[in-house]
Amino acid sequence: MISISRAQTEDLEAILKLQYAAYQSEALLHDNFTIQPLTQTLDQVIEEYHKGVILKAVLAAKLPAIQDDVIIGSVRAFLKNDVVYIGKLMVHPEHQGNGLGRLLLAAIEKEFSGYRYELFTACKNYRNLHLYETSGYTRFKDETGEDGIRFAFFEKFEKAV
């Protein structure tokens, strides 16, 4: 069983380890293993935690002998000037392709109901592009980062319920 909830400070190290695993495919895609998700430190994750909301997707342990639940997904967001900036949407490679990313995206939107959402992804990451487009996001600009990676920026306007 998978549950999504707010991460706690004691979860941040596991989320950072998940991030390192989940972003390997992105690094391979660009042949660049110095991308920000792979160089981010625990202190930087803690700073993001205090700045906004980090959600975690937890897979409950299936065997009585294994007591620990495992964090298999996460997403972050913060509110600034009436815009919710969503980032680091990640799912462990063994659990990708099963809709968990979509569930995490919907859950973080629910945390910030009634705002404009903004996020970005690499233009080469067709799975992410598809996810955002089919989740109601509209691409509004492309930019090339300092590392030469081209990013697509998306937005979505949500009405308060």
- Please tell me the total count of domains within the chain: 1
The pLDDT, as a whole number, for residue 158 is 78
pLDDT at 63 (0 to 100): 59
Report yes or no on 148 lying in a domain: no
The answer to the question of residue 32 being in a domain is yes
Q: Which long-range contacts (CB under 8 A, 24 or more apart) does 35-40 make?
A: 35/147, 35/149, 37/88, 37/90, 40/16
Q: Is residue 117 part of a domain?
A: no
Cα(first)–Cα(last) distance of the chain, in Å? Answer: 29
Position 66 scores a pLDDT of 55
Indicate whether 155 belongs to any domain.
no
Is residue 82 situated within a structural domain? yes
Query: How confident is the model at residue 67, as a pLDDT?
Result: 58
Look at residue 136 and tell me if it is in a domain: no
Nearest Cα neighbor of 158 from 120, 122, 119, 100 is 119
β-sheet bridge partners, residue 55: 6, 75
Q: Which CATH number does the domain housing residue 34 bear?
A: 3.40.630.30
Per-residue pLDDT of the chain (161 residues; tens, 9 = 90+): 899 999 999 999 999 999 999 999 999 999 999 999 999 999 999 999 999 999 999 998 665 555 568 999 999 999 999 999 999 999 999 999 999 999 999 999 999 999 999 999 999 999 999 999 999 999 999 999 988 999 999 999 976 55
Q: Is residue 33 part of a domain?
A: yes
Q: For residue 41, what are the domain limits? A: 2-112
Backbone angles phi, psi at 81, to 5 degrees: 50, 50
Q: Is residue 125 part of a domain?
A: no
